[in-house]
Amino acid sequence: MRDITTTAMVTPTSRYWEHSLANEDSPTINSTASNAKSATMDVLFPRGFDLTSIEKCMMDYDCNFIAYEDDEAINSRIGTNFIVLQETHFIAHVGNARYDAENKQFKCDYDCRNRVMRNLHTNQGKPFYYLGATEGADGIYHNDKVPYLLFTNECIRDYQSTDNTIISNYTSVDIHKFAEIAKSKRCNEKFFDIYLGNNDYICCNTQTLETYEYNSANKYRVIEILCGSSDDPFHQLKSEDEKLKLIKSLPSKSSNFHLKDIEGNTVEENVDYYLEIYDQDHDILDMYEDELWSRWYEYQTEQIIVQYSIVNGIHYLVYNNKYLHVADGTIGVTLSDQVPYQHQRLQFQVTEDNTFRTVQWDQRLFLQLEILTCSSGSVQFSADDSNSLELRCYLTVELKSLVRCRNIETQLQSEYEQPKSIKPLPSLSTIQIYRTAVCLLHTDPDQVRSSTTIKALLKRASRSEPPKEMLKPTVGIAPTLRFLAQISSDHSASLNDLNKKTAFLLAMAAFLRPFDLERISLPHCTNNDGGRVQLKTLLVRKNEQFKELCPVSAFNALRSHPRNRQRPSGKLFTNSKNPAKPQRTATISSWLKSLIRISTSQTPIPSVRSIASDLALTRGAPLSDVVTMGNWCNSEVFDNHYRRQRLQSQNITNFVLRL
């Protein structure tokens, strides 16, 4: 245990906030406008107002505290975001409310001041959506959860963990004194937190004075436990101690760091590069309303073109002259006209494959892909690094010279304007001819043949072309269904068997791919009274005719299986040997293939999605229902890529899951 000195707290001075550390991120905030640090939001208070009567909060570092005597000070700021302090509450002025262009005012309780100010500060000059508090019957907005007390002498720019806080400064750590202070304030009664500097923390049980030491790499998870519903969060922290210690700090940033393109070449400044998701064949990046999203690969969107910029030794990605960053109070990647503050920066980790992972600056929050609907997903940061998203970049000229040329001579030149979008692609055979011709004239043909960029282009061209017209035999799936019917849809079945049965039945009933199954989010699944499970935006209905093959029963049994109590948050399919781990897409795919092999020896093995959709049509399901359930953009895509027989053309479950 760390040695802790026990000396008294400093008596508050007449100033509202006086910091013991003088650095760029720790300004002294006075009660006059002239001495206040320049910031983007003003906090007004009536002259004579006792600033020590309200709790300090982290957002005070980014505000100007200004005393006023008449309404002119308020009226002159209409149209911007600012707050006005009053005796029992404060008033938040929103200059650009989403659904009301005029100035709006919200009366707010002081327990939510940091949250509200954070949202106002973040959205200065932008459409405002969310106040960060809930309106009560008294017309005043209150905090949804009581804030916790953080003792610190520095501004900690980690809004996900310090958003719902009040703060207090100190000179030396005195646990007993801190506990008494915490008990005297309107804050979380279970614990208080102490920032010791150098990314080290101690949290303390307010009642028992039990302590737990951790560092900033663990902060997100520690605060999540402390603010959770556990009656004894410190016991939970101790039980997870070994796991938390495995969370290592981010690798130190090197002064000679450089991003690499997919070829392994150093990324150059002020040069156009395509930015793509790596090793995710069905997802592409899209910039929508200045925020990064993912889309299904058939979605019509322009490719993301970025440039690399180094400012004062810090590396940034720039899109349309705006910096990619993490805006305060958000968990996604958005655009900024100005160079981001340190806590808003993105940090890049180059992999052996010349891709890179993206994290928030100095935090173990990794960029991940979360599927929201069948055609789109959010790209956001999470503390779980097991499924972190890898991105890649490559020169636009490499793709341009391959797909925009019409003959060998023009292909070897690049003195023409770079298009922002390369659509449509030439045919696969055309690109292959171009590659062969370039190899004949290139000084290093092996470099062309082994280029991962060209391989990616060929892969995309192949994926965009419909397969050759051919009559594929239907698959008699009855042997597989008879096998699955023998597996009980209850807790008597092993987790391994129930995993496979549920995956196959859901794939058949909803035309799901393996990665669709892996991404099923339990918080977004609902059971309707009619015996239906809602997945994605589709309904999976009960199988009334063959109850042994009911996907809803199998889903419910798997969700509540006793061995799944330690499942990762929100995941349906888990590792049967270690249920604390989520199941990988590749494993789910192997389940489906092994079950299909029971019914057919065809090679390559047809997909469940193809078998189920074709079977539904064969048995009379309307084509429109099949296209809707499979989320195909139109019947032509289904007809070209999935339909196994050219047959003419409810409950899809009853069509496909019957013997």
Quick one: pLDDT at residue 217?
75
Each domain of the chain, given as residue ranges in start order, spans 41-245, 273-395, 406-464, 478-656
Rounded CA separation 231/84 (Å): 37
Quick one: pLDDT at residue 367?
86
pLDDT higher than threshold 90 for residue 1: no
The most confident of the ranges 87-96, 429-438, 528-537 is 87-96
CATH topology agreement for domains 273-395 and 478-656:
no
In this predicted model, what pLDDT tens digit does every residue of 466-504 receive, in sequence order?
Answer: 554 445 567 788 888 888 888 988 998 999 899 999 999
Residue 331 makes CB contacts below 8 A (sequence gap 6+) with 160, 365, 380, 381, 382
pLDDT higher than threshold 80 for residue 292: yes
Quick one: pLDDT at residue 644?
38
In percent, how much of the chain has pLDDT > 70? 70
In percent, how much of the chain has pLDDT > 90? 18
| Mean of pLDDT values over 420-439 | 68
pLDDT higher than threshold 70 for residue 271: yes
| Mean of pLDDT values over 452-460 | 75
Mean predicted lDDT score pLDDT of the chain: 75
Quick one: pLDDT at residue 193?
97
pLDDT higher than threshold 90 for residue 249: no
Quick one: pLDDT at residue 500?
92
83: nearest Cα among 48, 124, 130, 34: 124
pLDDT higher than threshold 50 for residue 410: no
Rounded CA separation 475/141 (Å): 60
Quick one: pLDDT at residue 629?
55
Quick one: pLDDT at residue 172?
92
Is the CATH number of domain 273-395 1.10.3720.10?
no
82: nearest Cα among 157, 62, 91, 128: 91
| Mean of pLDDT values over 311-321 | 89
Looking at residue 38, what DSSP letter applies? P
Is the C-alpha dihedral spanning 85, 90, 91, 96 positive or negative?
positive
Q: Give ∠ CA 249-255-260 in degrees, rounded to 5.
A: 85
More confident residue, 94 or 364: 94
| Mean of pLDDT values over 369-392 | 73
In this predicted model, what pLDDT tens digit does every residue of 506-536 receive, in sequence order?
Answer: 888 878 888 778 888 787 777 665 555 555 4
More confident residue, 41 or 103: 41
**Which fold is adopted by the domain 478-656?**
hpI Integrase; Chain A (1.10.443)
pTM of the prediction? 0.49
516: nearest Cα among 603, 583, 431, 443: 583
More confident residue, 474 or 561: 561
Rounded CA separation 201/196 (Å): 6
pLDDT higher than threshold 90 for residue 90: yes
